[in-house]
Amino acid sequence: MTKTMIARALLWVLALMPLLAAAIALPEGSFRNGAAALSSLGRLTAIGGLGMFLVAAIVSFRIPGFDRVFGGLTTLWQTHHLLGAWAFLLLLAHPLLLALAATDISLAAGVAVLLPKSGGTATWLGWGALLAMMAFLAPSFAFFGRPHYQRWKWLHRLSGVAAVLALAHTFMLARTLPEPWDTLMWVTLAAAALAALGYGLVLSRRANRYRYQVAEVARPANNVVELSLVPEGRALSYQAGQFVYLSPLDPGLAAGCGEEHPYTLSSAPGEPVLRIAIKDLGDASRAIQTIATGTEVRITGPYGAFFPDRDDAPELWIAGGIGITPFLARTRALAQRGRAVNIQLIYCVQDQARTLFGEELTRLAATIPGFVITLHYFYRDGPLDGDFVRYHCPDVSSRQVYVCGPTPLLDLARQVVLGAGLPRARFHSEEFNLL
């Protein structure tokens, strides 16, 4: 088991701890009949859901370097999303189970549990928490389609409201765990979530934000720009393959001015400028294609752990479109170092005209012993398949495999290399999914 797997497992242990403690504390006879079982399950789902919700809030902040313990910010936030989804489902089941338990008395009693006519302040606080969770979590589910990024970020501010209402509801009605352990547990988790929120809103903006100026705007394709940025003060320290949040401050942009979006760094560590390649994929990335030189931008980061600290193992890289960016940064870094490697890059594009940074990659590869580039053209070769990968990289199953590109390519590459015998632990992918 890797350190990353252990770190993620510990997060789940922390999230499940309130549920486990509550299950142990249930009195004898809690499942003596159907109504008692439903009532007990209703209390357990509330405690389990709130525990997961608070731990999801704790890991929602962004501290550069901290995310590497969990395999990078993308992996950490995947855990955050999963915790949030389970929290929502458990908390949604909570009132329904209690209402079903009360119907053992009468249907009116069950309705009264859900919608009390008087003296139900705690219940209405609980409904308020659930409604707030519905508002900010619903757009995260694929059922509703891909949400607008900035609207999704704004809605997530309701998570603080939901947490306050849920905790108030819990303190008013909690009766499963004995005191003082009940209060101590919730106060500790709430304090940690509040500290994470405070850090994200206040301290991180000062500690991890850098001011840069746009020195040059290169155009490797008609819908791609590569910004060269020079620091206005302290410079960012980073590793190849990491990403940052960039906030352009050009008032002439049609969209995205002052908004932060994640972009992968394309420069190699140690370069005098910071380079970021951006493809037109939405309103903000489309507008930034016209950013003016001399404009100030703010950088927050770095984040991610796409590539390992050590690079002595044989590697296979599979890139698609603008997903070449982390590999471009790593190639530039390897060219600076000049050491022999055992790396094969399969670059998937529709045709030769859509190959980004192709000439530079070919030139750099020629200076790196053991570095091989293979171009896969969709219009010529069809979708990437196992035969193509095995022909160009016969020992794929013994390599570390890194994939970055559109979601269909990620899914296809995963299927191909795992089907070729690659252990799942050696497969690494990078995608920005509501970061």
CA dihedral over 291, 283, 243, 384, signed as positive or negative: negative
Q: How far is CA 288 from the centre of its chain?
A: 23
- The answer to whether 232 and 213 have CB atoms below 8 angstroms apart is yes
- Decide if pLDDT at 314 tops 60: yes
Mean pLDDT is lowest, of 155-169, 178-192, 196-210, 221-235, for 196-210
Q: Is residue 435 part of a domain?
A: no
- Segments forming the whole domain that contains residue 279: 209-303
- The whole-number pLDDT of residue 74 equals 77
Could you read off the pLDDT of 353-400 as tens digits, one per residue? 788 898 999 999 999 999 999 999 988 988 999 899 999 999 999 999
CATH number of the domain enclosing 226: 2.40.30.10
Tell me the per-residue pLDDT of 24-35, one tens digit each, with 9 for 90 and over: 888 888 899 999
Pick from 206, 232, 249: which residue ends a domain?
206
Average pLDDT for the chain? 86
Do residues 46 and 184 both lie within one domain? yes
Q: Which of 102-111, 127-136, 189-198 has the highest mean pLDDT?
A: 102-111
Are 297 and 393 in a shared domain?
Answer: no
Q: How far apart are CA 324 and CA 306, in angstroms?
A: 13
Distance CA(378)–CA(97), nearest Å, equals 52
| Residue 263 belongs to a domain | yes
Least confident segment among 7-21, 64-78, 176-190, 402-416: 64-78
Same domain for 8 and 157: yes
Encode pLDDT of 211-227 as tens digits. Answer: 999 999 999 888 899 99
Mean pLDDT of 114-138: 83
CA-based max dimension of the chain = 80
Cis check: omega of the bond before 178, within 30 degrees of 0? no
Q: Which of 187, 206, 225 is the last residue of a domain?
A: 206
Number of C-beta neighbours around residue 407 at 10 A = 11
The percentage of the chain sitting over the pLDDT mark of 70, rounded to a whole number, equals 92
Shared domain check, 202 and 327: no
Do 71 and 171 have their domain in common?
Answer: yes
**3-class secondary structure, 383:** coil
Q: Give the CA distances from residue 57 to residues 16, 182, 296, 305, 406, in Å, rounded to whole numbers and listed in that order.
A: 14, 19, 31, 21, 28
Question: What's the pLDDT at 93?
Answer: 93
Residue 309 lies in a domain: no
Same domain, 36 and 135: yes
Pair 240, 360 in one domain? no
SS3 of residue 16 by DSSP: helix
Domain boundary pick from 142, 176, 206: 206
Q: Three-state SS for 73?
A: helix
Residue 435 has pLDDT above 60, yes or no: no
Helix (H) or strand (E) holding 401: strand 400-404
Indicate if 189 and 239 belong to the same structural domain: no
Amino acid at site 374: T
In DSSP notation, 295-348 reads -EEEEEEEE---S-S---S-EEEEEEGGGGHHHHHHHHHHHHH-----EEEEEE
149 lies in the same domain as 226? no
Residue 311 and residue 317: Cα distance in Å, rounded? 13
How many domains are there within the chain?
3
The answer to whether 196 touches 57, Cβ cutoff 8 Å, is yes
Q: What is the pLDDT of residues 331-353, one digit of tens each?
A: 999 999 888 999 999 999 888 87
Q: How far is CA 75 from CA 109, 267, 432, 435, in A?
A: 45, 23, 10, 10
User: Does 405 lie in the same domain as 376?
Assistant: yes
Reported confidence tier of residue 17, pLDDT bands at 50, 70, 90: very high
218 and 365 in a single domain? The answer is: no
259-309: pLDDT as tens digits = 888 999 999 998 999 999 999 888 888 999 999 999 999 999 898 888 876
| Average confidence (pLDDT) over 47-72 | 83
Query: Looking at residue 140, what is its pLDDT?
Result: 62
